[in-house]
Amino acid sequence: MAFTFEIFSDVNQLPPDWDGLAKENIFLSRDYLEVLQLSAPDNMECHFIVLLESGKTIGIALSQFLDVNQLESFGDRDKCLRASARKLVFRNFSSRVLFIGNNMLTGQNAFVFAKDTDRVKTILALKAAAISIRDSFTKKGKKIHLTTFKDFDDNEAEDFRKAGFKDHLEFSTQPNMVFTMRADWHSEQDYIGSLSKKYRDQYKRARKKSDGVHKRKMPLEDIIKYEDAIYDLYFHVAKNAPFNTFFLSKNHFRIFKEKLRDKFLFYGYFLEEKLIGFNTLIKNGKSMDTYFLGYDDNIQRDKMLYLNMLYDMIAYSINKGFCEIVFGRTALEIKSSVGAQPVPMYGFMQHGNGLVNKNMDWIFKRLEPVAEWQQRNPFK
């Protein structure tokens, strides 16, 4: 029996059994998808895919269409020739991208399949759904340049290889930094005791530098009260990233807190009652996912604010019994200095132009910068 699919553009249209599968991943739950529906970046359009076998739901998936040409800036940090060339090529040949997955997160948040489902056949049905979405945008005059399936570990990537994705470029960029809890850690002090002297000294130095900074868990009313300041801090960090494909809407964190409630944690950092930084966390089963953050760069350097945020995330996650922290794929070296390990992630990409697609490997290697960093081992 061939697998089929249905595509929805409204969370309210999803079938009743959607959350039965989504319970394995909060980032495919109705509540989270409603966050996207209400506060996705202006240049993003989401679709929700149901995969079926004989009328029975056997898979769910998320797609995101991004039109990067709608952005005023791709990111202002890198001014080198390669960065300029990358932005020029991206704007003209790769600015309209269809992601099967979530471009706002790191990790496999593309789909969930029912247990005992033929994964290869289900992936082929997902590929057919992606083609259908791509064709619908073409009919609306928005021809998609790139179709990308992301982010998968090696076992998941093998399913794509078996499904015959040879017409796609298999790629791997920066790894996902994942912090795994040890069984003998029951408190922050246990974690500190496991560090080598060099990294215990780093911990002590960071904590001493943060003197005068007060961390506060912020409820919805505070997120609303400080919304302008929060966005300014976020936008400062985002705009100074080497490359951006979207910017969050100003109401994003408020909507997130309204919909996910106690599963979404927002911490503000204050100096003399002024908000100087924030970080966000999302409870995803036994995993803690880090989300967006923001800070005043001058104060961040003086107070080692970012490093202190990492230590705070670790302490909270140990105290609450989480198994791991998904730190994502930025700031690789500093995250490794607190104990996170790199997990390679793979994706599959196809260009809509056949000639360009044949040369995607050559193009990708020249435009995608290789992350040069030194992995640290902070433990004894």
**Residues 162 and 181 grouped into a single domain:** no
| Chain segment 144-170, per-residue pLDDT in tens | 999 999 999 999 999 999 999 999 999
Q: Are residues 246 and 113 in the same domain?
A: no
Residues 197, 158: contact at Cβ < 8 Å?
Answer: no
Nearest-angstrom CA–CA distance, 311 and 308: 5
Q: Alpha-carbon distance 204 to 208, whole Å?
A: 6
- From CA 348, how far away is CA 54, in angstroms rounded? 28
Confidence bin at 361 (pLDDT 50/70/90): confident
Q: Assess if residue 373 is contained within a domain.
A: no
What lies within 8 Å, CB to CB, of 52 at 6+ separation is 3, 4, 5, 6, 58
Would 110 be classed as within a structural domain?
A: yes
Q: What are phi and psi of 33, to 5 degrees?
A: -65, -30
Q: Which two tokens stand for residue 86?
A: 């990358």
Residue tagged 């966390």 (tokens): 281
Residue 109, domain member (yes or no): yes
CA 104, 109, 113 angle in degrees (round to 5)? 160
Assigned domain for 103 exists: yes
Shared domain for 126 and 270, answered yes or no, is no
Q: 335 and 353: one domain?
A: no
76 and 213 within one domain: no
Per the model's pLDDT, the better-predicted residue between 283 and 355 turns out to be 283
Give yes or no for residue 302 having a pLDDT over 70.
yes
Q: How far is CA 276 from the centre of its chain?
A: 23
Complete DSSP assignment for 219-252: -HHHHHHTHHHHHHHHHHHHHTSS--S----TTH
Q: Phi and psi (nearest 5°) for 99?
A: -100, 130
The answer to whether residues 322 and 260 belong to one domain is: yes
- What are the DSSP calls for 101-141, one per residue? S-TTSSSS-SEEE-TT--HHHHHHHHHHHHHHHHHHHHHTT
In this structure, are 331 and 187 located in the same domain?
A: yes
Q: What is the Rg, in whole angstroms, of the alpha carbon atoms belonging to the chain? A: 21
| Total domains, the chain | 2
Same domain, 168 and 195: no
Longest dimension (CA), the chain: 65
Q: Is the dihedral of CA 192, 270, 39, 146 positive or negative?
A: negative
Helices vs strands, H then E, count in the chain:
15, 15
Domain that holds residue 81: 3-173+345-367
So what's the pLDDT on residue 367?
66
Mean pLDDT of 315-321: 98
Asked if residue 380 belongs to a domain, the reply is no
Q: Which residue has the higher pLDDT, 243 or 49?
A: 49
Handedness of CA 223, 224, 227, 229 (dihedral sign): negative
How far is Cα 247 from Cα 243, in angstroms, rounded to an integer? Answer: 11
Pair (213, 329) in one structural domain: yes
Same structural domain, 108 and 239 = no
Separation of alpha carbons 236 and 246, rounded Å: 14
Distance of CA 3 to the CA centre of its chain: 29
Taking a C-beta distance cutoff of 8 angstroms, is the pair 22, 30 a contact? yes
Residue 23 included in any domain? yes
Do the domain assignments include residue 358? yes
pLDDT tens-place string over residues 72-119 = 654 444 455 555 555 556 555 678 999 999 999 999 999 999 998 999
pLDDT band at 351 (very low <50, low <70, confident <90, very high): very high
Q: Which of 263-272, 346-355, 357-366 has the lowest mean pLDDT?
A: 357-366
For residue 349, give the CATH number of its domain: 3.40.630.30
Over residues 298-303, mean pLDDT: 92
Q: What is the mean pLDDT of residues 257-266?
A: 98
Alpha helices in the chain (DSSP H): 18-22, 30-39, 81-93, 119-139, 154-162, 188-193, 197-209, 220-225, 227-239, 252-260, 297-303, 305-319, 332-337, 354-358, 360-367
pLDDT at 346: 96
Query: Rounded distance, CA 352 to CA 206, Å?
Result: 49
What pTM, to 2 d.p., does this model score? 0.92
Which tokens is 122 given? 């289900």
Do 291 and 312 belong to one domain? Answer: yes
User: Has residue 379 been placed in a domain?
Assistant: no
Three-point CA angle 276, 277, 281, nearest 5°: 160
Are both 61 and 134 inside the same structural domain? yes
